[in-house]
Amino acid sequence: MKSLRHAVAFAVPALVATAGAAGALAVLSTARRVVTPAVRRNDTQIIAVDTGAQTIELSRNLDTELPGRYGLFTSGTYGYVKLGAVLSADARSVRRKLLTKIEPGARVDRDAAFSGWYYVSPTELHLPWESVNIGSPAGPCPAWFFPADSQTWVIQVHGRGTTRAECLRAVPVFHGLGMPTMVVSYRNDGEAPRSRAGSYALGAAEWQDVDAAIGYALRHGAERVVLMGWSMGGAVALQTAVSSEHRAQIAGLILESPVVDWRTVLRFQAREAGLREPLPGLAMGALSRSVTARLSGAEHAIPFDRLDMVARASELEAPALILHSDDDGFVPPDASHALAAARPDIVTMPPFSGARHTKLWNYDQTRWTAALTDWLHEQRLVPPPA
| Residue 63 belongs to domain with CATH number | 2.40.10
Distance CA 320, CA 349 (A): 8
Q: Considering 115, 133, 158, which residue would you say is the last residue of a domain? A: 115
For residues 24 and 94, membership in a common domain is answered with: no
Taking residues 232-250, what's their average pLDDT?
98
pLDDT at 21: 63
| pLDDT tens readout for residues 355-364 | 999 999 999 9
Is 385 part of any domain?
A: no
| Tens digits of residue pLDDT in 298-357 | 999 999 999 999 999 999 999 999 999 999 999 999 999 999 999 999 999 999 999 999
State the pLDDT confidence band at 241, using cuts at 50, 70 and 90: very high
Give the pLDDT band of residue 168 (cuts 50, 70, 90): very high
The secondary structure element, H or E, covering residue 125 is none
Whether 384 is covered by a domain: the verdict is no
pLDDT tens digits for 109-158? 999 999 999 999 999 999 999 999 999 999 999 999 999 999 999 999 99
Q: Are residues 82 and 10 in the same domain?
A: no
Q: What is the number of structural domains in the chain?
A: 3
Domain assignment of residue 213, yes or no = yes
Residue 74 falls within a domain, yes or no?
yes
In order, the DSSP letters of 340-372 are HHH-TTTEE---B-S--TT-HHHH-HHHHHHHH
For residues 257 and 273, membership in a common domain is answered with: no
* 183 shares its domain with 314: yes
pLDDT confidence tier of residue 18, bands split at 50, 70 and 90 = low
3-state helix, strand, coil in the chain (%, to 5): 35, 20, 40
pLDDT band at 16; cut points 50, 70, 90: very low
pLDDT at 6 exceeding the cut of 80: no
Q: What angle do CA 122, 112, 352 make, to 5 degrees?
A: 65
- Using one digit for the tens of pLDDT, what is the confidence trace for 68-107? 999 999 999 999 999 999 999 999 999 999 999 999 999 9
Give the pLDDT confidence score for residue 15 in this predicted structure. 52
Q: Does 138 map to a domain? A: yes
d(CA 308, CA 263): 8
CA distance 159 to 328: 14
Domain boundary among 91, 115, 139: 115
199 plus 94 within the same structural domain: no
95 lies in which domain range? 44-115
In a domain? residue 386: no
What is the C-alpha to C-alpha distance for residues 161 and 121, in angstroms, rounded to an integer?
A: 17
Q: Looking at the structure, do residues 61 and 170 belong to the same domain, yes or no?
A: no
Lowest mean pLDDT of 180-189, 204-213, 222-231, 274-283, name the range. 274-283
Helix, strand or coil, per DSSP, at residue 132: strand
Q: What is the CATH number of the domain that holds 159?
A: 3.40.50.1820
Asked if residue 24 and residue 148 are part of one domain, the reply reads no
What is the structure's pLDDT at 20?
A: 59
Domain match, 236 and 364 both:
yes
Q: What proportion of the chain, given as a percentage, has pLDDT over 90?
A: 90
Q: Assess if residue 383 is contained within a domain.
A: no
Cβ burial of 321 (10 Å; 0-12, 13-18, 19+) is: buried
Tell the burial category of 39 from Cβ atoms under 10 Å away from its Cβ (0-12, 13-18, 19+): exposed
Share of the chain above pLDDT 70, in %: 94
Q: What is the mean pLDDT of residues 368-376?
A: 98
Same domain, 279 and 141: no
Q: Does 94 share its domain with 237?
A: no
Q: Between residues 384 and 266, which one has the greater pLDDT?
A: 266
d(CA 33, CA 49): 35
For residues 234 and 108, what is the distance between their CA atoms, to the nearest angstrom? 34
Domain membership flag for residue 5: yes
The verdict on 370 and 246 lying in the same domain is yes
Q: Which of 89, 115, 141 is the last residue of a domain?
A: 115
Mean pLDDT of 47-60: 98
Q: Where is 175: in which H helix or E strand?
A: helix 171-176
CA distance to 191, 321, 339, 362, 372, per residue, from 366 (Å) = 31, 17, 26, 9, 10
Q: Taking the chain, what is the end-to-end CA distance rounded to the nearest angstrom?
A: 66
13: pLDDT confidence band, cut at 50, 70 and 90?
low
pTM score of the predicted model:
0.94
- In terms of domains, do 354 and 256 share one? yes
